Amino acid sequence: MKGLYLLLFASALAVGQFATHDSLTIPTDELTIGTQWTSVCVLNEATDKCAFILHVPKSGNIAKLVFNTGSVTVANTLTVGIYTVSTTNGDPTATAYKGMAVGTVTPTATTQHVVALGTAATAVVAGDVVAVVIAFESWTNGNLQIRKGTISTYGFPYSDVYDETGVAWTKSSSFPVTAFEYDDGTYPYIPGVAAFKMTLQGAFNSGTTPDEVALYFCLPFPAQVRGFALLANPAPGADFDVILYNAASTVLATKSFDGDVSTTGSSGGLQIKSSFNSPVTIAANTWYYLALKPTTTTSVRYQYLTCASTAMMAAVAGGANFQLATRTDGGGWTPSTTQRPLFSIIVDRIPQGSGGGFVVTN
């Protein structure tokens, strides 16, 4: 399971027993970066560059690179490549990494671009520090934006921008927005990196189609679900329920909210966290729905992310085992393997194996 970050001390309990620990939010990343990737690198001169400094996630051959654009005033051709990083100053060097030759793309606005390298980076080594660099192949006029994270607390990975006017690289503690596609078609998860296209806002209520939105999820181990965390924004008076269903849509737990008893007015999502009145034990390798259901005709906004492909979802915390699902009037659910609502479950117990030690799930 990608990016669940469960590293828990296990006492010597028999197989099948549960250990209680501080609560864990699964998936971990979405609520912290959901509305926080709206910053951009602006490229508006011939030698301007945007770089993302990060670790190679696994050994193999990197065939394609991913980046996201904001606005594009003139579609000047871009080059995209992987380079080594100076151990002296932490900036990209001019040395191509592992035989890589750059790929090129004509950018379009607000798009997730998946760019094939001219020559793949071969025999890459997991843990190597590299720079994904986006630059102009040719430039005449105009400017464009490359998306990066807004949160300014990242020491690593980080963003780096080269400005022709200042003739220098300037590091930014914003997280990278990128991904690697290997020649086997996989997209490994990279902690601290946003691989998705963008977070979007949907508005719905008890009279819309759909009228229920859910995180459709499956864990590789049994667990006790204590509560939930959502990124949503109810309008004043927008009452809603948060419901945990099993795969047959049987209600396992419900928490009801009064839309007048919350803060409102944020243009982005608000974190809504609570516990169910009674915890629910869920089974391993079994699908469940954590649903947001408005109970009035006043709309609730929710946020979700999207990826260019099902394979790319593996680069998002939790991988393809966390999906968006919708339904109307209590009918059948329609899942999406390329989208996910920014909903998480809060777990406070997982099983221990015999003999003690650590339980590691990643």
Strands (E), 209-356: 212-218, 223-234, 240-246, 251-257, 270-282, 287-294, 300-306, 322-327, 334-336, 339-341, 343-351
pLDDT at 284 over 60: yes
Q: Which of 128, 160, 193 is the last residue of a domain?
A: 193
pTM of the model: 0.85
Indicate whether 266 and 322 sit together in one domain: yes
Asked whether residue 333 is domain-assigned, the answer is yes
Lowest mean pLDDT among 6-10, 93-97, 99-103: 6-10
The larger pLDDT score, comparing residue 7 to residue 114, is at 114
Closest CA to 257 of 235, 281, 241, 279: 241
- Predicted confidence band at 362 (pLDDT cuts at 50, 70, 90)? very low
Q: Which of 193, 213, 243 is the last residue of a domain?
A: 193
The larger pLDDT score, comparing residue 169 to residue 151, is at 169
Task: Give me the pLDDT at residue 93, please.
Answer: 98
Asked whether residue 136 is domain-assigned, the answer is yes
pLDDT at 232 over 70: yes
Asked whether residue 129 is domain-assigned, the answer is yes
Q: Which of 158, 178, 193 is the last residue of a domain?
A: 193
Average pLDDT score over residue span 196-219: 90
Average pLDDT score over residue span 93-120: 97
Average pLDDT score over residue span 136-148: 91
Indicate whether 122 and 26 sit together in one domain: no
Indicate whether 353 and 218 sit together in one domain: yes
Indicate whether 15 and 70 sit together in one domain: no
The larger pLDDT score, comparing residue 264 to residue 307, is at 307
pLDDT, averaged across the chain:
86
% of the chain exceeding 70 in pLDDT: 85
CB atoms closer than 10 angstroms to residue 15: 9
Lowest mean pLDDT among 4-18, 47-61, 124-138: 4-18
Indicate whether 28 and 128 sit together in one domain: no
- Predicted confidence band at 166 (pLDDT cuts at 50, 70, 90)? confident
Closest CA to 312 of 194, 164, 222: 194
Asked whether residue 237 is domain-assigned, the answer is yes
Indicate whether 155 and 244 sit together in one domain: no
pLDDT at 31 over 50: no
Q: What domain range is 73 assigned to? A: 39-193
Taking the mean position of all CA atoms in its chain, how far away is CA 183?
22
Calculate the CA dihedral of residues 12, 18, 21, 25 and round it to 10 degrees.
Answer: 140
Indicate whether 235 and 352 sit together in one domain: yes
Average pLDDT score over residue span 219-232: 92
Highest mean pLDDT out of 18-32, 166-180, 275-289: 275-289
Q: Which residue has the tokens 């030698």?
A: 47
pLDDT at 95 over 50: yes
The larger pLDDT score, comparing residue 341 to residue 5, is at 341
Element (H, E) at 40: strand 39-43
